[in-house]
Structures are given as structure tokens and as C-alpha cells.
Amino acid sequence: MLKKENHAKIIFHIDMNAFFCSVACILNPSLRGKPFAIGRENTYRGVISTASYEARAFGIHSAMPISEAYRLKPDLMIVHIDYKYYEEYHKKFISVIRQYSTIVEVASIDEVYVDMTEASKQKHPLVLAKEIQSRLLKMFGLPCSIGIAPTLFLSKMASDLKKPLGVTVLRKREVEQILYPLSIKDIFGIGKRTYPKLMASGILTIGDFMNPKNEEIVVSIIGNTQYEHTKKCILGQSSDKVEPERYSDSRSISTSLTYDIPLSSETEILYEMRKMTRELCQKLKKEEYYTKTVDITLRDIDFHTITRQKTLEEYTDDFSMIFELVTELIEDNFKDKTYRLIGVGLSNLLHKNELPKEYNLFTDQTKEEKESNIDQLIDMFQEKYGKNSLYRGRKKN
């Protein structure tokens, strides 16, 4: 067994290596060993979603404009795969992980945190990690790297140390030896816009970041709150709790999607969110629930995530009212970036039987009936003639 530090938990962070590219190779074995990238086919527009390891050798990486990728390698193959195949293989690898532990937290379509404390009482964690790696590769052709540590943050840092097909153990007492020499840009949570500022100020390594002499410099760049939080994470003082239901809430519903080809325009995002909002409203009506709070989630290609919300004055299940708030939230928060994940959520839910007595169900139903034909017409036009073909007008104050 790994020697426990004050009864520390054993957390695995399992990160699928170049997941989208791996699935592409499963579907088309002729791609194996070749430089290719996931993106829009037959165009110089857009950005690379991810690149095979062979393509990375030419300097091609995620978020790179396709035109720039072609400049580095003119004969680069660009491949587009239907997202349903990624979901299919996500479910397959999750099914294997659940055979080892029931405490699994899905972080994204290609990574999970797993509490392996109990499983490690029967078998050495390194043996378990190698076994999981071997099974995923043999059964599905999916390579992965695994980080083993006493906290979620350190397990994530550990899994990034050896790719592809690496297994890394990171104990608290080894943090200074293993992490401090690494580049500042390797700290999980330090974004691509932040680390250049730190480096320009002489904070080049994680060791520099942790040096008390540099605290004033670091705080001036990232703020005291993030500095203290990040420092605790690096020292192994962050959460060791894997939460399978971390984002679940019986009083809220939500839906989100990760896109292999990131979305780069406000129009594209609203088009996708319209469908998401429609789906959630249908669920509300089916379960006879009403909502008062609407939120949106945007995660860009640098993995910066924002969540914003607005609250209505009254409860509703009306699609038009809800999507109006979604639109306002996007207009207020959309930046000139490309986004890999978007989501819509409804919270502050009440069942029909729990609504305040003064709430007029009949008025709301009448409004819904008046709006439904318009909404259906808009949907038909957009499906037939494109995302920009027709939109509902909005009032200007």
C-alpha cells in the first residue's frame, strides 16, 4: 500500500489522452500515427479543437486558428466527428471506472475524479491504476493518464505530469520536490492570460509562486483571494471529497454541452441555447414545475468558466420569458472568445401545488398559448433556413 499521511484519501484523476483524437482513430484506424486535428473540415475558418500527438510535434495545438495550423503543416488532415460518438465512448470508459468505485465525479467528457480509498485496501493503487489503463486501452483503444494523490487538485496536477499513458503518485511531502520546479503555467487554474503577467514579473516557476518573498508581486497580479486559495491547493490543503452529485440540485435543472468544434459567435451560442431552453421548458411542463431564476454557463477554450444568473419577478414555465433572460445574459457576458462548453440552468423551482396563492395560472397559460405558434414558426424557419433566418424582436428601453 501507499503509505498514508494522516489517513489521507487516495484520489485518482483519470484524464483521457487526446480523447477526441483517440475516438477519431477508433472510428477511422487509418488515422493512427498520423498528424491530424479535430476541427471544421474544408475550411480555413475556425480553430483547432485538439490535435493528435503527431500533429503536436509540428507545434499544432488546441485553440490554434486552422489557418495557422495549415501554415505549420500544409497537408494537415482536419477531421470532424459527430459528437454522439464522443458521448458513446465517454459512457464506455465511465462504465469501467465504476467497476472500481461508486464514488466517481465526472469533471468533463474526458476526465473524472475517483475516490479509490476503499479499493486500495484490497489492491495497491499503482496496480489498480495500471489495470484501469490497460483495460481502457485494450477494450476500447482509449489511452489515459492517471494522477494519484490525497486531494482532487494534486491528483489533477499529477495526471498532467506524464502524458500519454502515464501514472504519477504525488504525496504532500513530495510537492516541493515535484511541483516547485515546474513552470508557473502548469498550475491548474492559472489561465493563459494570467501566467504571462506572472512570468513578466519574474514569477517563472511554482516555487517562485510559493516563495513568501514574492507574495506582494503575485497578489498584485491575481489578487489575495486567488493567491491564498491556490497556495493552499498546492500545499495539499484543498478538498479531498469526490462528489458524484456535486452539481445536482433537486430544486434546479440544467443542461450543457461540450463542443468538439468550439462556438465563436453570439449567434451560434444563442441558437444552441435556444434548443437547450426549449428542452428545459418541456421538462418543466411535464413535471408541472415553475422557475424564477435562469442561469447560463460559458467555458472558453482556456477552460475559464463563468456562470451568470437573473431572477424573474414571478414564477413561470413560459419559454419566451425564460429565453428572453438567457438572451440578456449572453448579450451582457459574451466576449470575443471561442467557447467549448455552454449551458442553461433553471433554479428556484416550485411545483404547481406550491405556488403562492396570488399566482394566476390562467393568465400564464393564456400567454403561453398566444406565444406558442410564434415560437414554433421561429424554430421551423431556423431549422430550414439557418440560424440567422428569423429572430423574435426585443423591446428597447
Would you name the residues annotated as active-site residues?
111
Please answer whether residues 250 and 348 qualify as being in contact, where contact means their C-beta atoms are separated by less than 8 angstroms.
Answer: no
Please answer whether residues 68 and 82 qualify as being in contact, where contact means their C-beta atoms are separated by less than 8 angstroms.
Answer: no
For 86, the enclosing helix (H) or strand (E) is: helix 83-97
Q: Is 303 left (phi over 0), alpha (psi -120 to 50) or beta?
A: left
**Type of residue numbered 384:** K
Give CA–CA dist 264/125, Å, rounded: 42
Helix (H, G, I), strand (E, B) or coil at 341: strand
Helix (H, G, I), strand (E, B) or coil at 58: coil
Angle at 85 between CA 79 and CA 89, to 5 degrees: 120
CA proximity to 66, closest of 102, 39, 94, 103: 39
Give CA–CA dist 255/356, Å, rounded: 27
Give CA–CA dist 317/363, Å, rounded: 12
Number of H helices, E strands in the chain: 14, 13
Give CA–CA dist 93/86, Å, rounded: 11
Residues in the chain: 397
Q: Is 125 left (phi over 0), alpha (psi -120 to 50) or beta?
A: alpha
Q: Where are the beta strands (DSSP E) in the chain?
A: 11-16, 36-38, 50-51, 77-79, 104-108, 111-115, 144-149, 167-169, 252-263, 289-300, 305-316, 339-347, 350-351
Give CA–CA dist 15/262, Å, rounded: 20
Helix (H, G, I), strand (E, B) or coil at 35: coil
**Type of residue numbered 255:** T
